[in-house]
């Protein structure tokens, strides 16, 4: 992992890129938040140590470590416990991501996730799906609200709370961070997306060359750094027919969608860049 990119990913999290949120973190960031972030840019070892303790370096685990660090080091919230299982007769019913105490004493459960959803208008109304197509915003939200967020209200969940001397009511909250990607299925959609400041986009491999009129170079984003914009020292590829062909040819070996960050010109402000998934034609 790139240590400097980890700081950028933390900054991205703090900015609040949420797709679904029951809890507003913004009132609880420390008053000296910007100074703390600046200090981390000078000495990022505390953050690197936290990431290094993560057993898995998958995107989800990486984000959970970032979130844990952010809550512990950058907010006024106090973590009571995180990533603990609720068991019944030797069987695990589920896991609670995080339990926190507010400065007012209220206790909240956080169920967190990092997700990237591509729009499939033909699947409306549940038309936001993951790159692998097995996941969807509807499935994630439904599962979280019907299962994970109800764990502590079950009899065994209440028993766990009693055993840990938590007698006050616990409020459950879902926080899904990530990005939406609109479908770029024609030139009009591409023009509208190019003028849009926030949304990502997705396009089929055979249509990828159509983006050459809008961008001059692109970066291939590698997990787990799918969140923040890539740093200037990241390797970039000039957008040409040859580079487009080479990118699309990767699907001959691996059909997973490719995540890109694209710039109108090399050296342009990262704010002007756009995230995009290129998918096989049969996706």
* Residue 224, preceding peptide bond in cis (omega within 30° of 0): yes
Give the model's confidence band at 236: pLDDT under 50 very low, under 70 low, under 90 confident, else very high. Answer: confident
In percent, the amount of the chain with pLDDT more than 90 equals 82
pLDDT at 268: 64
Give the other-Cβ count within 10 Å of 33's Cβ.
Answer: 13
pLDDT tens-digit map of 160-180: 999 999 999 999 999 999 999
Q: Mean pLDDT across the stretch 223-248?
A: 89
Is pLDDT above 80 for 192?
A: yes
Is pLDDT above 80 for 267?
A: no
Give the model's confidence band at 270: pLDDT under 50 very low, under 70 low, under 90 confident, else very high. Answer: low
pTM of the model: 0.93
Are 160 and 152 in contact, with CB atoms under 8 Å apart?
yes
pLDDT at 195: 84
Q: Mean pLDDT across the stretch 140-160?
A: 96
CA 134 from chain centre, in angstroms, equals 17
pLDDT at 198: 73
Greater confidence, 27 or 266? 27
Are 120 and 141 in contact, with CB atoms under 8 Å apart?
no
> What is the Cα–Cα distance from 38 to 165, expressed in whole angstroms?
38
Are 60 and 111 in contact, with CB atoms under 8 Å apart?
no
Give the model's confidence band at 266: pLDDT under 50 very low, under 70 low, under 90 confident, else very high. Answer: low
pLDDT tens-digit map of 74-96: 999 999 999 999 998 788 999 99
Are 141 and 173 in contact, with CB atoms under 8 Å apart?
no
Is pLDDT above 80 for 221?
A: yes
Is pLDDT above 80 for 240?
A: yes
Q: Share the mean pLDDT of the chain.
A: 93
pLDDT at 196: 81
């Amino acid at each position: 992992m790139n240590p400097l990119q980890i700081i950028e990913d933390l900054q991205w999290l703090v900015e609040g890129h949420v797709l679904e949120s029951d809890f507003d973190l913004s009132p609880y960031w420390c008053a000296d938040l910007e100074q703390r972030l600046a200090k981390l840019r000078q000495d990022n070892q505390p953050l690197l140590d936290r990431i290094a303790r993560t057993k898995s370096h998958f995107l989800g685990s990486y984000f959970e470590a970032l979130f844990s660090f952010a809550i512990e080091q950058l907010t006024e919230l106090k973590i009571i416990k995180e990533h603990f299982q609720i068991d019944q007769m030797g069987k695990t019913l589920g896991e609670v991501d995080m339990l926190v105490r507010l400065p007012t004493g209220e206790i909240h459960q956080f169920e967190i996730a990092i997700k990237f959803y591509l729009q499939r208008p033909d699947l409306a109304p549940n038309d936001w799906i993951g790159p692998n197509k097995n996941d969807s915003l509807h499935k994630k939200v439904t599962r979280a609200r019907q299962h994970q967020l109800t764990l502590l209200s079950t009899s065994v969940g209440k028993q766990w709370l009693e055993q840990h001397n938590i007698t006050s009511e616990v409020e459950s909250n879902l926080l899904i961070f990530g990005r939406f990607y609109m479908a770029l299925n024609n030139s009009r959609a591409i023009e509208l997306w190019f003028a849009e400041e926030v949304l990502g986009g997705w396009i089929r491999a055979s249509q990828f060359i159509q983006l050459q009129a809008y961008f001059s170079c692109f970066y291939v984003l590698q997990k787990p750094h799918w969140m923040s914009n890539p740093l200037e020292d990241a390797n970039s590829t000039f957008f040409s027919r040859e580079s487009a062909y080479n990118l699309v040819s990767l699907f001959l070996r691996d059909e997973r969608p490719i995540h890109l960050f694209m710039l109108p010109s090399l050296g342009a402000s990262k704010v002007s860049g756009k995230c995009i998934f290129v998918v096989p034609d049969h996706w």
